[in-house]
Structure 1
Amino acid sequence: MTSSWTDLLSRLARGEDLSRAETSAAMTEVLAGEADPVALGALLMGLSAKGESDEEILGFADAMLAASEPLTIPEGSVDIVGTGGSKHRKSHALNVSSMASFVAAAAGATVCKHGNVAASSSSGSFDFLAAVGVDINPTPTAVEALIAEHGLAFAWAKTFHPAMRHAGPVRSALGIPTVFNILGPLVHPGRTRRIVLGVANQPRAEQMARILLSRDMARAWVVAGYDGLDELSTVGPNRVWDVSGGSIKELTVHPEAVGLSLVTYDELAGGDGARNAEIFKRMIFDPGSEPAATGIVALNAGAALVVAGVADDLVSAVAKSLAAIDSGRVGELFEDFTQPSTTG
């Protein structure tokens, strides 16, 4: 362990915050495979015990972006993503953001979703995508071609952040949430400036809104769903932090106010990737057969339409999302998108 790492860990032990430059330098060593695994584990535990500051998180994100594979996406592209960690997703997760990506794209947004396989839920976004027949590991060139052709693409974190393999064993050994669990939405390889970001608890949501504000986003919605869901919920009211124009505006989103019925979490139960694939296919090919899932997906797709500038307000955005499902446009996009391709 180098003296610089010893100093960082000593300061964390005293409860001191590290600078953005310091956490970026430490993470750069990690991504180069040069960090002592014991030191990395101590750093992650120290930050978790103290509570990660905005600047510390930004430093980690800076290093990850600098080491990522490049990806060029259209200006105005939006990501729909959650940080995970919701108690409602541990055993019966419904892949709402991935389903909403198809719906938002069919309704007129350009969507590039960044994600991964399951870490804390029964089905991660890329578990679901693999189950519905999406090629989850295309080359960066193929991802660019997909978004150019369909207005939709999915960027697997494993493909675009290969250097994270150096941190993987330590993360697995620790077995607890660390700063890495919240970095995914901040390190989109296409540097998207529009995002719908779901967070399972309000204090972390407020922090993520501040971080996004510091990054000069075109527009972002940070959402804390009812009762700890990391996306907009149709079970009850949701908190939203609307980041745009150099400020943060707090909103409350009631499902009934945008034309949706309240449901229970039992009605929103999903499962593994295969189970969620079945639900999604019924939703888009037999409209009306999955009303609860349709409602929550339309709500989150609607948020993406607002953030992308395709809709002026959430009421019209949800209506556009429902129309895209009912008219069959989502099904058509899905079939086109999942056709075998020689691209990339």
Structure 2
Amino acid sequence: MNSLEKFTALTTRQQQLDYNQIKECTDALISDRVTLHEKENFLTALSTKGESPSEIAHFIKCFKGLARNPQLDNFSSNAIDLCGTGGDRAGSFNISTFTSFVLASSGVNVIKHGNRSISSKCGSADLIEAIGIPLNLENSQINECMEKFNFAFLFAPAFHPAFKNIAPVRREMATKGSISIFNILGPMINPASPCYQILGVYSEPLVKKIRDSLHHAGQSSGYVLHGNIENHDHIKGVDELTPCGQNIIFPFGSDSQSLQKNLSAKDFGLTQCSIEKLKGGNLDKNIEIMNLVLDGDGPEGLKNSILMNCSLAFLAIKRTDNLIDGVKLADELISDGSVKDWLNRVKKHFLK
């Protein structure tokens, strides 16, 4: 019995794994000498048992330790990451990515960690590449982008080479409709470790578990959230704030005594809408929608969702004192052309 089979047996018996055991599991999962079948059995057993917050925190530490260092220490202490787990199958526009553009245009340091589309038609990396930012930059170029534009995008495959030998088992499990810890781990292993984070999850029961995992992992400050969707037959929740129902928000780290409640569009001074108003599409469609929002012609419901997510981010980094002021600031940045100007400057820089 190899080490991974041993830990599969332990998790089948509902035993919690400590850090050293998780480290052994990680080494086996990234090895090309362990079979796909053995990896799948372990991941399935762990998922069936239910990953505890401490186990997830151990995986975060292990995979961060294996990641390429982007050398952004000069920025990480006051930077934020905004991302979601995906997996909600809502087909919405790239709200967290556009939100990151708004924040960066205001002077907030954003270190975004993401990938190409997996569960949607257009992932964060797809849109970021389309606005002109190359995905495979050298560390010096990433630092230059932070200095000039308050923005860095860390393309997950470029910073997590260890995932190369995990990809086949993830694909195999996906074909069977099976989930594993890797469905939620990605947003929590930003190799730059920015101080602040807004993390959306596809399932309401995950909100507290992910919050506790980030707490155990020592993440400094931020919010884990889930947006419940009202009056829709198929879509019940998404991994971002929306004006389509009640939003569950759990703080962690130094923000743990602040907001911990359900918030609706009304709490942001905005109006409710149906989930259809947030609809996105493929890359071309999402670029079209982005340009409409920038020009003030986008769907009101979508813009309200963007404003809500910006407002919470501004609150997390202490740029504003309340949600209403955050909405006003984000609205001004879009309406006065600051975000559009920022995007044009970024594009011009990388065309050189």
CA distance in 2, matches of 1:18, 1:64: 16
Aligned ranges 1:253-332 → 2 under 5 Å: 253-284=263-294, 286-332=295-341
Task: In structure 1, give the amino acid aligned to 2:164.
Answer: R
1:28 CA drift (Å): 2.6
Task: In structure 1, give the amino acid aligned to 2:160.
Answer: H
State the Cα deviation string for residues 183-223 of structure 1 (Å, max 9, x = none): 11211010112100001222211011111222333321111
1:34 CA drift (Å): 4.3
Aligned ranges 1:147-226 → 2 under 5 Å: 147-175=146-174, 176-226=178-228
SS at match of 2:15: coil
> Residues 330 and 306 of structure 1: is their aligned pair in 2 closer, same or farther, counting only changes over 3 Å?
same
State the Cα deviation string for residues 151-177 of structure 1 (Å, max 9, x = none): 112111011101211101111111132
State the Cα deviation string for residues 242-267 of structure 1 (Å, max 9, x = none): 22337455122221221222111111
1:292 CA drift (Å): 2.3
Q: Gapped runs of 5+ residues in structure 1? A: none
Task: In structure 1, give the amino acid aligned to 2:316.
Answer: V
State the Cα deviation string for residues 304-329 of structure 1 (Å, max 9, x = none): 11112211222111111111000100
Native 8 Å contact 1:222 1:240 kept in 2: yes
1:245 aligns to 2:254 (yes or no): yes
Task: In structure 1, give the amino acid aligned to 2:225.
Answer: V
CA distance in 1, matches of 2:26, 2:95: 31
State the Cα deviation string for residues 262-288 of structure 1 (Å, max 9, x = none): 11111111111221111111211x124
SS at match of 2:224: strand
1:113 aligns to 2:112 (yes or no): yes
CA distance in 1, matches of 2:45, 2:106: 44
CA distance in 2, matches of 1:311, 1:288: 26
Q: Which residue pairs with 1:141 in the alignment?
A: 140
> Residues 65 and 224 of structure 1: is their aligned pair in 2 closer, same or farther, counting only changes over 3 Å?
same
1:25 CA drift (Å): 2.1
State the Cα deviation string for residues 62-110 of structure 1 (Å, max 9, x = none): 221111000233121000000111131xxx3311000100011123321
1:147 CA drift (Å): 1.1
1:93 aligns to 2:99 (yes or no): no
Native 8 Å contact 2:58 2:217 kept in 1: no
Native 8 Å contact 2:248 2:261 kept in 1: yes
Native 8 Å contact 1:212 1:220 kept in 2: no
> Residues 289 and 328 of structure 1: is their aligned pair in 2 closer, same or farther, counting only changes over 3 Å?
same
- Aligned-residue sequence identity (percent) comes to 26
1:111 CA drift (Å): 0.7
SS at match of 2:113: strand
Q: Gapped runs of 5+ residues in structure 2? A: 230-236
> Residues 213 and 177 of structure 1: is their aligned pair in 2 closer, same or farther, counting only changes over 3 Å?
same
> Residues 102 and 49 of structure 1: is their aligned pair in 2 closer, same or farther, counting only changes over 3 Å?
same
1:340 CA drift (Å): 4.4
Q: CA RMSD in A?
A: 1.8
Task: In structure 1, give the amino acid aligned to 2:205.
Answer: P
CA distance in 1, matches of 2:38, 2:285: 40
Q: Which residue pairs with 2:232 in the alignment?
A: none
Native 8 Å contact 1:160 1:189 kept in 2: yes
CA distance in 2, matches of 1:205, 1:336: 37
Q: Which residue pairs with 1:339 in the alignment?
A: 348
SS at match of 2:172: helix
Native 8 Å contact 1:20 1:56 kept in 2: yes
157-166 vs 48-57, which moves further:
48-57
Aligned ranges 1:20-35 → 2 under 5 Å: 20-35=19-34
CA distance in 2, matches of 1:162, 1:54: 25
Q: Which residue pairs with 1:130 in the alignment?
A: 129
SS at match of 1:341: helix
1:339 CA drift (Å): 2.0
Native 8 Å contact 1:193 1:217 kept in 2: yes
1:138 CA drift (Å): 1.7
CA distance in 1, matches of 2:109, 2:101: 10
Task: In structure 1, give the amino acid aligned to 2:270.
Answer: L
Q: Which residue pairs with 1:69 in the alignment?
A: 68
SS at match of 2:134: coil
Q: Quick one: which of 228, 238, 241 aligns to 1:229?
A: 238
1:182 CA drift (Å): 0.7
1:128 CA drift (Å): 2.0
Native 8 Å contact 1:103 1:298 kept in 2: no
CA distance in 1, matches of 2:20, 2:164: 22
